[in-house]
Amino acid sequence: MRVFVLGGLVTLFFVAGLPRAAGQATTAKASAPIDITGYWVAFVTEDWRFRMITPRKGDYQPVPMTEQARKTADAWDPGADEASGNQCKAYGAGAIMRLAARFHITWQDENTLRVDSDYGMQTRLLHFAAHSSPGVRTWQGYSTAQWEKPGSLKVATSNLRAGYLRKNGVPYSENAVVTEYFDIAPIPGGGQVLLVTSIVDDPENLRQPFTTSSQFKKEADGSKWDPQPCTAK
Amino acid sequence: MIHSFTTLLLGLLACGSAVAQVDLTGSWTPRNHEFLTGDGLPVDFTGIPLSEEGRIRALSYSESQLEMVERQCQGWPAFYLVQGPFGLRIWSETDPIKGNTISYTIGGWEDRAPMTIWMDGRPHPSEYALHTRSGFTTGVWEGNTLVTYTTHMKAGFLRKTGAPSSDEAKVTMRFYRHGDILTVLEIIEDPIYLAEPWILSRSFQLSATPQPPIGPPCVTAYEGSVGATAPHYLPEKNPFVDEMTKKYGVPRDAAIGKPETLYPEYRKKIPPLVPVQ
């Protein structure tokens, strides 16, 4: 009897502790270790003057820019961006999660997370099942996603259109690669916070990968959702 | 035989628990790409959800207080480790018999005391116990995330420009390691000086270059202040209250830390042509 009990315990340990056998297909949605869907609002406790207002030309600190990037930023012309249809340059994947915005995260299908922003009205698609061709370059690029056990989401984005890290023209190139980690945590007293750590790697414009982490508070519904188009100024 | 199997099973379970954790020990250099401390303007409380009491205290603060010998080495509370410009040196203390981690210590700097994180399940002391700069911290693992809780900090500052913290402040920190990047999330609660929890984060990169376990000693010196009163500003008399507006076009409500300015909808209230001088 004792042998049966012990055997059962050992079997339970291995069944519970080992990963599923290969071939047991499951969707990203079904295997999600955390739930990041819902409405999230940026809680702007850092870099306020770079995020809530458009900083002055030349106010770049503390971005680790190359000399070439500085020259590019010094030539920033928001009027020209608007005239050329590039008013969304500061809303690309390299910067969007740092904007003072609301985000609505949903499952587009079983293997694709969709992230919509109200400010700039952008849409990101985070693909758990990679496509063969990422297509043309866009502001949001092409994002691949994977769950990191026990409870985190990793997203890698490339195939971008060149954009701005800040609204005052701090540039990133189309070769930039953005790596992000999404984590969630409870707020004492109630609520949830979404933490997004973002690493923009762009040797052309950055002396070292530009690393920021942004906080978002979960909202009960979309009653404060306020879509606004991109502006260059 | 049964005993051997049981020992094996318990060992495997213990192993499973151990591998669920990550190694945080080592040296971590800061990625100072975020502005968490302000840029030195006296009235920059942007991004801090101050209560009315907190705002009044903050606006009464004069940085000339740091001339006072008794204040020169006052240092900053434990949560300054995310705001300050320095790296982290983390080491652990292991029980020599059981092998479990008794504590982690995050080394200090000249102006922040080392912080010990007790992992052995000990309770926090009575609320009347001694309050120190670093406070009293306990920690637990939640999956791969180290979660710490700090109480018993002396009254200090939320930001160097004078936004105050009380001795009732408490901090929850979460340490997320993703490869060679460590992101620390802080949630600071202060029932006196904050209108709602203040949430901050910063990332650090694992480094082969050792970070010092403690900074140089703070040495006081006469800096010209011998008065019987602490330098301060009376209500409505702070001469720097509009500096952020003049220099950066930041509205006064944001500069003085009104909570509603931390949310995107405040953008609509920002005057379109705040004069920049």
Do residues B184 and B202 make contact, with C-beta atoms less than 8 angstroms apart?
yes
pLDDT tens readout for residues A11-20: 444 444 444 4
Look at B264 and A119 and tell me if their CB atoms are within 8 Å: yes
CB distance B250–A48 less than 8 Å?
yes
pLDDT of residue B111: 85
Gap between the Cα atoms of A225 and B145, Å rounded: 32
- What's residue B35's pLDDT? 78
Contact residues, chain A, for B34 at CB < 8 Å? 46-47, 62, 212-213
Report the gap between the CA of B118 and the closest CA in chain A (Å): 20
* DSSP per-residue codes, A109-166: ETTEEEEEESBT--EEEEESS--S---S-BSS-EEEEEEETTTEEEEEEESBPPEESS
Q: What does the pLDDT read at residue A15?
A: 41
Q: Do B263 and A9 touch (CB under 8 A)?
A: no
Looking at the predicted structure, is the pLDDT value of residue A78 above 70?
yes
Domain ranges (residues) in chain A: 40-219
* pLDDT, mean over chain A: 91
Chain B residues in contact with A45 by the CB 8 A cut-off are 47-49, 198-200, 262
Residues of A in contact with B172 (CB under 8 A): 188
Q: Which of B226, B49, B203 is nearest to A199 (CA)?
A: B203
Does residue A49 contact residue B248 with C-beta atoms inside 8 Å? yes
pLDDT value of position B75:
86
Instruction: Mark yes or no for CB contact B264/A101 under 8 Å.
Output: yes
> For A147-177, how does the pLDDT look when each residue is reduced to its tens digit (9 = 90+)?
998 899 999 999 999 999 999 999 999 999 9
A94 touches chain B (CB under 8 A): no
Instruction: Output the CA torsion sign for A173, A174, A177, A180.
Output: positive
Residue with tokens 């030309």: A57
pLDDT at B226: 66
Per the CB < 8 A criterion, the answer to whether B202 and B173 are in contact is: no
Q: Report residue A3 as tokens.
A: 């042998």
Taking 60 as the threshold, does the pLDDT of residue A7 lie above it? no
Identify all chain B residues contacting A224, using CB atoms and an 8 Å cutoff. 265
pLDDT tens column, B47-63: 999 999 999 999 999 99
Return the pLDDT at B70: 86
- A197 vs B170, B181, B262: nearest CB: B181
Residues A22, A146: Cα–Cα separation, whole Å: 17
From B17, which residue of chain A is nearest by alpha-carbon distance? A17
Note the pLDDT of residue A22: 45
Residue B249, chain A, CB below 8 Å: the answer is yes
A77 pLDDT exceeds 80? yes
Joined together, the tokens standing for residue B136 give 């009293």
Residue of B nearest to A12 (CA): B9
pLDDT for res A8: 46
Cβ of residue A49 closer than 8 Å to a chain B Cβ: yes
CA nearest neighbour of A157 among A118, A193, A218, A115: A115
B178 touches chain A (CB under 8 A): yes
Cα end-to-end span (Å), chain A: 76
Residues 66-95 of B with CB under 8 A from A: none
Tens of pLDDT, residues B145-168: 999 999 999 999 999 899 999 999
Structure-token pair, residue B31: 């990625």
Contact yes or no for B47 and A212 at CB 8 A: no
What pLDDT sits at residue B60?
Answer: 97
Identify which of A49, A64, A197 has the shortest CB distance to residue B183. A197
- Say yes or no: A201 contacts chain B, CB-CB below 8 A: no
Instruction: Give contacts of B274 with chain A, Cβ < 8 Å.
Output: 53
Strand B136-142 and strand B145-151: the pairing is: antiparallel
Per run of 10 residues, the mean pLDDT along chain B (length 277 residues) is 45 41 94 78 95 98 90 90 92 95 93 94 97 96 96 95 96 97 98 98 96 89 77 95 93 97 95 56
Query: Is there a contact between A213 and B39 if contact means CB atoms under 8 Å apart?
Result: no
Q: Which residue of A has its CA nearest to B190?
A: A188
